[in-house]
Copies of this chain bind each other. A is one copy, B any other.
Amino acid sequence: MPDTFEDHCWKDIVSGEILEIYRAYRRDTYIGKRPALLAIDLYNLVFAGGPRPVHEVVKEFPSSCGIYAWEAIRPIQELFTLIRSAGMPVVYTTAEGRREMRPDRVRSTHRRVRAADEHAYDIRQEFAPEAEDLIIYKERPSAFFGTPLIAHLRGLEVDSLIVCGETTSGCVRATVVDAYSFGFHTVVVEECCFDRSLLSHKVNLFDLHHKYADVLHLEEVRQHLQRIGKGIETNTGRERR
């Protein structure tokens, strides 16, 4: 097998010396036995302003990820198709919107937010939830903090996660670190995550890949799932751990 462990978007900013330092983190990557898709904060507001550069759209929409959000739509749709074809559970997160839960007091970052219209935190139509799906409303960055997610994952008999959404350096990272801590094997799909800054996007994927999760390309996920579908791969990763 060719060594693809470092064949990712961070290649152009991570030096050979750094890769040398991170040799002790190298290992085979895999998808768990009973994964769920966890789609983080794919709500309308993050697409606000259209597919334009982030530094332009944030002037009007400080919560938007602009062009990076729009470029991820197609890959995320493909990921949803793969997951739904495999019959795996789908879990979404979005922001708590009920005023009496005081989301104004307990927020996901220090960012100043503007009053949003009533559909700002609805999941964008391209990824619309289906009847069996679970939606987790959260006030903090991690999908696990202050939510019953852990109980739902236990009830669904899920042992691993496949993560997409935004932002890589915010809610995605916080969620993946918690998933690791709770003991879930976690895959982060590179083309299906995005951020406001490419620098933070790349370095956070680098950190997650080495310390806590397997960052895979969408194409790798597709191949893993196909091999599982054909019974070629048991994909548990148990032997390798």
Copies in the complex: 4
Chain B residues with Cβ below 8 Å from A24 are 58, 62, 111-113
Chain B residues with Cβ below 8 Å from A20 are 55, 58
Per-residue CB proximity of A38-68 to B under 8 Å, as 1/0? Answer: 0000000000000000110010001000000
Distance between Cα atoms of A206 and B110 in the complex (Å): 13
Contact in complex: A106, B137 (CB < 8 Å): no
A203 at the B interface (CB under 8 A): yes
Q: How far is the CB of A116 from chain B (nearest CB, A)?
A: 14
Contact in complex: A110, B200 (CB < 8 Å): no
Contact in complex: B111, A145 (CB < 8 Å): no
Interface centre among A22, A27, A102, A212 (most CB of B within 10 A): A102
Interface residues of A (CB under 8 A from B): 13-15, 17-18, 20-25, 27, 54-55, 58, 62, 96, 98, 100-102, 105-106, 109-113, 129, 133-142, 145-155, 157, 159, 169-170, 173-174, 177-178, 180-184, 196-197, 199-200, 203-204, 206-207, 210-212
Interchain Cβ contacts under 8 Å between A and B, 18 examples: A15-B199, A17-B55, A20-B58, A23-B58, A24-B62, A100-B134, A105-B155, A106-B151, A111-B210, A138-B148, A145-B178, A146-B181, A147-B148, A169-B207, A174-B177, A177-B177, A200-B206, A203-B204
